[in-house]
Amino acid sequence: MSDSSFIDSKVRTGQRRIEALVLGASAGGLQALAEILEGLPADFRLPLLVVQHIPADAPSRLAEVFALKTALRVKEVDDKDALSPGTLYFAAPDYHLLVEADFSLSLSQDEPVRFSRPSIDVLFESAAQVWGPHVAGVLLSGASDDGATGLHAIHLAGGLSIVQDPLEALVDTMPRAALARFTPDYVLPVKEIHRLLCKLETSHV
């Protein structure tokens, strides 16, 4: 599925317009995320919402670190944040991140899901409910099965489902959990995921 001509032909078909990107990562995922974001322009049209599994008992430096790695605006989510184009949002430590019906972002301290808070499943399932076929979900390297259910929800809602190639992932448990659950639209190495996101930003799919 990683063939470039396959991506080109698939992105040119259909009429959906992607309005947001949601990404989930755990162990080994930060390197993959950095490679995916590298080179995205400051005027990138889509908001990107990220759940990276992080310790609950310490401040997160993800926004600070990634602000040095990308031209996008980067911030840790505050409750009731409004979505802005071309902004990279990171879930806060020990809070689930959700998308609300009015396209604002909310934080929740509901019980952990798949032993995780923030949970990738929680973000992905809320994104599927709000955007339906107009969201793309990306599941990266990780050591748990968090994200498989949520990515499947995006797939069932008609959105695009993208999984990092488990042969490339530093920790392949998370990608393989998704593949065991359903057949996603794309299974790609991170360089091809980057290329696909650039296509989604300008294309109907």
pLDDT in tens, the chain (205 residues): 444 433 443 443 356 799 999 999 999 999 999 999 999 999 999 999 999 998 777 778 899 999 999 999 999 999 999 999 999 999 999 999 999 999 999 999 989 888 889 999 999 999 999 999 999 999 999 999 999 999 999 999 999 999 999 999 999 999 999 999 999 999 999 999 999 999 998 875 5
Nearest 5°: CA angle at 137, between 122 and 195?
155
> pTM above the 0.75 mark?
yes
Query: Is 115 strand, coil or helix?
Result: coil
**Any idea which residues carry the catalytic annotation?**
26, 53, 146
* Cα gap 160→20, rounded to integer Å: 11
C-beta separation of 119 from 151 below 8 A: no
Nearest to 194 by CA among 72, 108, 58: 72
pLDDT (0 to 100) of residue 16? 76
Per-residue DSSP letter, 133: G
Cis previous bond, 55, omega within 30: no
pLDDT (0 to 100) of residue 204? 58
Give all strands of the β-sheet with 73-76 in edge-to-edge order: 73-76, 87-90, 48-52, 20-25, 135-139, 160-164, 186-188
Nearest to 121 by CA among 157, 142, 141, 96: 96
Query: Is 51 strand, coil or helix?
Result: strand
Query: Is 10 strand, coil or helix?
Result: helix
Question: How do strand 105-108 and strand 135-139 relate by DSSP bridges?
Answer: unpaired
Per-residue DSSP letter, 111: P
H/E element, 110: none
